Amino acid sequence: MTYKDEKGIHTDFKERMTYGDYLDLDSILNAQHRLSDHHDEMLFIIIHQVSELWMKLTLHEIRAAITSIKDENFDSAFKQLARVSKIQNQIIQAWDVLATMTPAEYLEFRDHLGQASGFQSYQYRMVEFALGYKTPHVLKIYEKDEALHQQLQEAYEAPGLYDVAIETLAKSDFDIDSSVLQRDLTKTYEANESVEKAWIEVYRNVDKYWDLYELAEKLVDIEDWMQQWRFRHMKTVERIIGHKKGTGGSSGVGYLKSVLDHYFFPELWNVRSKL
């Protein structure tokens, strides 16, 4: 069968919405504004724009999962968190494409970036906040945009994915320290013995606590992918600029290596050694 044989295909869109209209493709495809004439700057821009779109969807799903967990709607939460893991895989693959750019090619347009840097990605900070990694100093970057700064402040103060998971442990009659349940949510989460004991009990009684067990494994999936993303980011930067400072003023590879040692959900990793 050929195109000519498809009699039902719509071709008159003078008064109808097209695929391009629905997706606002004119805006998306005209959003790549190179500051140099170098061929590879287009690659650099598109990789980062696509990653930001994936992060937008990641936040959409994490926020929904937080609500689902609060409502004890675990089936929905599991689907939303599984989708986050698939999105993370897509973002990781993007580094392989960016890594086709050589150091010499990047140097041709790097100076045009000024102090602009992925370090300033506010959506990435919101993802970190949602996973419980709270870094107050980054909020200063966004003070010039009052509305955006307010969004970030709200995300910074809001309970994250792990906070609602721990609340669910408490609802399931596990003895969770009040210092954890009433903790200052603007502080980065730190491991707690009562939470660790609860997760150990969940893993030792999978049939009894199936929903909690499945939730724990979904969280481990997300942290695993997050750390793989961080590693690929670090190695791609090292491959392209070595150990030079980042355009945003960070130490570059040194900073990216330091965050690899951070755990979002520490007890879920400690459990592996304790079982």
Q: What is the pLDDT of residue 258?
A: 84
Place of tokens 């199936």: 210
What tens digit of pLDDT does each residue of 27-53 get? 999 999 999 999 999 999 999 999 999
Q: Is 102 annotated as a binding residue?
A: no
Write the CB contacts of 165 (distance below 8 Å, at least 6 apart in sequence): 69, 215, 216, 219, 265
pLDDT score of 1 more than 60: no
Rounded to whole angstroms, how far apart are CA atoms 16 and 189?
A: 51
Per the prediction, the chain carries an average pLDDT of 92
Tokens of 24: 């606002």
Residue 141 annotated as binding?
Answer: no
Lowest mean pLDDT of 24-33, 53-62, 102-111, name the range. 102-111
**Across 46-61, average pLDDT:** 97
What pLDDT was estimated at residue 244?
Answer: 81
Phi and psi for 176 in degrees, rounded to 5? -100, 130
pLDDT tens figures, 64-100: 999 999 999 999 999 999 999 999 999 999 999 999 9
Residue-wise pLDDT for 17-30, tens only, equals 999 999 999 999 99
247 is in an annotated binding site: yes
pLDDT per residue over 186-207, tens digit each?
999 999 999 999 999 999 999 9
Q: Which residue has the higher pLDDT, 158 or 15?
A: 158
Residue 82 CA to residue 84 CA, distance in Å, equals 5
**Residue bearing the bigger pLDDT, 268 or 139:** 268
Structure tokens at 168: 């669910």
| pLDDT score of 252 more than 80 | no
Fold (CATH) for 39-110+121-272: Methane Monooxygenase Hydroxylase; Chain G, domain 1 (1.20.58)
The alpha carbon dihedral of 117, 89, 95, 267 has a sign of positive
- CA–CA dist 64, 256 (Å, integer): 29
Longest Cα–Cα distance in the chain:
70
Name the token pair of 22.
């629905």
Write out pLDDT tens, residues 167-186: 999 999 999 999 999 999 99
Map out the domains of the chain as residue ranges: 39-110+121-272
Tell me whether residue 44 is annotated as binding. yes
Q: Write down the pTM of the prediction.
A: 0.91
Q: Is 33 annotated as a binding residue?
A: no
